[in-house]
Amino acid sequence: MTAAITAPTAHDIMNTHVHTVEPEMSLADVTTFLLKHQVSNAPVVKREGNERRLLGFLSEKDCLEFLSNEIFYGNPSPPQTAATVMKKHPVCVSPDADIFALASIFTSHGYRHLPVVENQHLLGIVSRRDALAALDRYYRDWSLKRDHERFPVDLHEIINHRFLVTR
């Protein structure tokens, strides 16, 4: 019998060098920021010492929507900022969410990125591509090391993996 292979977690695969924006940044500045850094999203954070408290999440889609509305309908009052445009309660995962929970969230909800948060502080971001690469590596390792015997699946364990989401 081979040793069990531990599934990777969000902590194992997250990107910790995350481009973030401040809540008071203007919509135009946020858009410029995303384009300059060639990123499709940015967490909106408030700095608390060395930590970053997650307030919300912005994407290219959000900027596209609000910029086009502002141009078409006219300037809103007050002006749009990261705080007024961001998704205020983004779906987040804890650092111990395993690859199966991540895959479930990505496939069920169509998200491209998930903030990794602990105690409201941003630790990093996991992308759908990061999860796919980790799952591929895990699958290849699992395929090489697994026994050819079939073992019954514990359905309680599977159900518990699907609900490791935090806000």
Mean pLDDT of 150-165: 63
**What are the pLDDT digits (tens) for 6-36?**
899 999 999 999 999 999 999 999 999 999 9
CATH topology assigned to domain 10-166: CBS-domain (3.10.580)
**CB atoms inside a 10 Å sphere around CB 164:** 18
Q: Taking the C-alpha atoms of 37, 42, 43 and 46 in order, what is their torsion angle to the nearest 10 degrees?
A: 50
Cβ(71)–Cβ(139) below 8 Å: no
**What are the pLDDT digits (tens) for 114-151?**
999 999 999 999 999 999 999 999 998 888 776 544 56
- Domain extents in the chain: 10-166
> How would you class 153 by CB atoms within 10 Å of its CB: exposed for 0-12, middle for 13-18, buried for 19 or more?
exposed
